[in-house]
């Protein structure tokens, strides 16, 4: 049995289906005639279909549709009128179906079938991308197909009793890769999007280089970039989704460097590493908070509440209550509780003898407790004024082997260096070789420096599977 067939015996499939409505017969005829629509005529009066998976463009293949009807049914079927359209800005699905010609009552009744279910995520209903198809018989709405995701459509059909039934249809996706390379004229963002990348791939690129370059001041016309990222294709060879960035390179006036996305097996934390296995990220953040000003530095001072002169062991960042606080580096939460004058307090243990502490929080982020593993940049809490505090701020401390240090003047080490870990370095080299092979297969070159002599944007090249005949 094919993976997208319903669990019925050949004998059952061979019996005439006298309960078919004219509208459903027509849907089946559309499938038999090779319609590229996401509609599939398998929902019948009095019958509930089994799970439907792995279909081209989320449509039932012709052979299965043909086996669900008799010759009588095909001959008697009356063609349906199909009207399609895309969601417009500030438009609802009901509004879209009405614009396509459905009566408001029918449109509302059909879409009400989705209420209280997880069949559709309203956050994925995007203007210009969400597509709907309405099928009519003598002016009456008979079926609706809604496609809001690359790999799934929803089929909503009118039954013989004028009620509505919804069925998810899943497309079979094949993984692939896309490589883009170009000279920067105005911005990396515009150049990458023009070649097939999306916002997430550009954000990943920026994340890989965030510690090395100022994108506002150190990107110049003539600089070049390269991206290799994962993609997904439907059975017709259409690229329908982009995924993780596997390789990012910048060959510019201020910086020439490339990074490979790699997750070492010992901790499973994905990061970007250069060709020598050195992490792109720094070991710790100096400022684990955005948009804050330093209100008090590390050093000896007169305490504003007690009046005593003593060592101020950290740096204070003034910020509004509720401002997110981030984990300064990868590590394990040792403490997340009230701690005297520190108020709500978090302490994180990192490697190499480092520890960081965060005080006066208004509250903790969800899931933060002793033993919790965190990754650099995770939100761990929110600015407050608990404990001995005169106003909302973050008190941030860094310790090395138990001794407090001034993080603002500390030369922080780079992130992980795999050359110091033979087993992980061997893993990385094997992964790097695989990614380099993909770059070559997609028209790239192994050495980042090879981008120097390229004079024009390279057309995107990908490893899309051949279209299904």
**Model confidence over 84-112: pLDDT tens digits?**
899 898 888 899 999 999 999 999 999 88
Whether the per-residue pLDDT at 26 is higher than 90: the answer is: no
Kindly list the structural domains of the chain, giving each domain's residue range(s) and its CATH number in brackets, ordered by start.
Answer: 10-170 (3.10.450.350), 174-281+421-462 (3.10.450.350), 293-405 (2.70.70.10)
Residue bearing the bigger pLDDT, 401 or 299: 401
Give the rounded percent of residues in the chain with a pLDDT score beyond 90: 31
Residue bearing the bigger pLDDT, 82 or 9: 82
Whether the per-residue pLDDT at 47 is higher than 70: the answer is: no
**Model confidence over 241-288: pLDDT tens digits?**
889 999 999 998 888 999 999 999 888 888 999 999 998 888 888 788
Q: Which residue has the tokens 């509208």?
A: 23
Whether the per-residue pLDDT at 9 is higher than 50: the answer is: no
Task: Output the pLDDT for position 58.
Answer: 43
- Under 8 Å CB-to-CB from 182, ≥6 apart: which residues? 191, 192, 194, 195, 224, 225, 457, 458
Compute the half-sphere exposure of residue 312: CA atoms within 13 Å on the CB side of its CA. Answer: 21
Task: Output the pLDDT for position 436.
Answer: 95
Say if residue 315 is exposed, middle or buried (CB neighbours under 10 Å; 0-12, 13-18, 19+): buried
Measure the CA–CA gap between 259 and 209, rounded to whole angstroms: 9
Asked if 399 contacts 357 with a C-beta cutoff of 8 angstroms, the reply is: yes
Task: Output the pLDDT for position 415.
Answer: 75
Which two structure tokens, joined as six digits, stand for 400? 């090395």
The mean pLDDT value of the chain amounts to 76
Task: Output the pLDDT for position 63.
Answer: 32
**Model confidence over 55-67: pLDDT tens digits?**
434 433 333 333 3
Whether the per-residue pLDDT at 349 is higher than 60: the answer is: yes
Instruction: Specify the range with the lowest mean pLDDT, choosing from 3-17, 94-108, 193-207, 309-323.
Output: 3-17
Task: Work out the pLDDT band at 467, boundaries 50, 70, 90.
Answer: very low
């Amino acid at each position: 049995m094919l993976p997208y067939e319903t669990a019925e015996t050949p004998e059952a499939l061979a019996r005439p289906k006298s309960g078919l409505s004219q509208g459903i017969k027509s849907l089946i005829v559309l499938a038999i005639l090779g319609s590229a629509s996401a509609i599939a005529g398998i929902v019948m009066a009095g019958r509930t279909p089994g799970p439907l998976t792995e279909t081209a463009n989320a449509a039932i293949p012709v052979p299965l549709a043909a086996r669900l009807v008799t010759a009588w049914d095909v001959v008697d079927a009356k063609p349906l009128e199909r009207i399609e359209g895309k969601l417009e800005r500030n438009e609802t699905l009901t509004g879209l179906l009405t614009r396509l010609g459905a009566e408001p009552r029918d449109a509302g009744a059909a879409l009400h079938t989705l209420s209280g279910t997880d069949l559709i995520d309203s956050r994925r209903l995007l203007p210009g991308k969400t597509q709907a198809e309405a099928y009519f018989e003598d002016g009456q709405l008979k079926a609706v197909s809604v496609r809001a995701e690359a790999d799934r459509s929803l089929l909503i059909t009118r039954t013989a009793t004028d009620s509505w039934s919804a069925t998810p249809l899943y497309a079979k996706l094949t993984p692939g890769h896309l490589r883009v390379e170009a000279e920067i004229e105005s911005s990396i963002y515009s150049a990458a999007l023009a070649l097939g990348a999306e916002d997430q791939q550009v954000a990943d690129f920026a994340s890989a280089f965030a510690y090395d370059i100022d994108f506002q001041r150190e990107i110049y016309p003539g600089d070049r970039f390269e991206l290799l990222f994962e993609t997904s294709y439907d059975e017709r060879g259409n690229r329908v989704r982009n995924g993780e960035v596997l390789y990012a390179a910048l060959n510019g006036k201020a910086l020439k460097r490339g990074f490979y996305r790699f997750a070492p097996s010992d901790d499973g934390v994905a990061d970007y590493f250069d060709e020598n296995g050195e992490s792109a990220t720094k070991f710790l953040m100096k400022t684990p908070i955005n948009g804050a000003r330093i209100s008090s530095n590390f050093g000896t001072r007169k305490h504003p509440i007690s009046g005593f002169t003593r060592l101020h062991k950290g740096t204070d960042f003034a910020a509004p209550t509720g401002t997110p606080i981030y984990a300064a580096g990868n590590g394990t939460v040792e403490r997340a509780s009230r701690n005297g004058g520190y108020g709500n307090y978090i302490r994180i243990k990192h490697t190499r003898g480092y520890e960081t502490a965060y005080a006066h929080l208004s509250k903790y982020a969800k899931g933060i407790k002793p033993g919790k593993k965190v990754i650099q940049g995770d939100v761990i809490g929110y600015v407050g004024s608990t404990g001995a505090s005169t106003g909302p701020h973050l008190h941030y401390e860094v310790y090395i082997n138990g001794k407090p240090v001034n993080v603002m003047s500390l030369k922080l080490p780079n992130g992980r260096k795999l050359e110091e870990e033979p087993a992980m370095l061997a893993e990385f080299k094997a992964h790097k070789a695989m990614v380099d092979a993909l770059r070559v297969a997609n028209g790239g070159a192994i050495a980042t420096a090879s981008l120097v002599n390229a004079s024009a944007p390279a057309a995107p090249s990908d490893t899309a599977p051949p279209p299904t005949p």
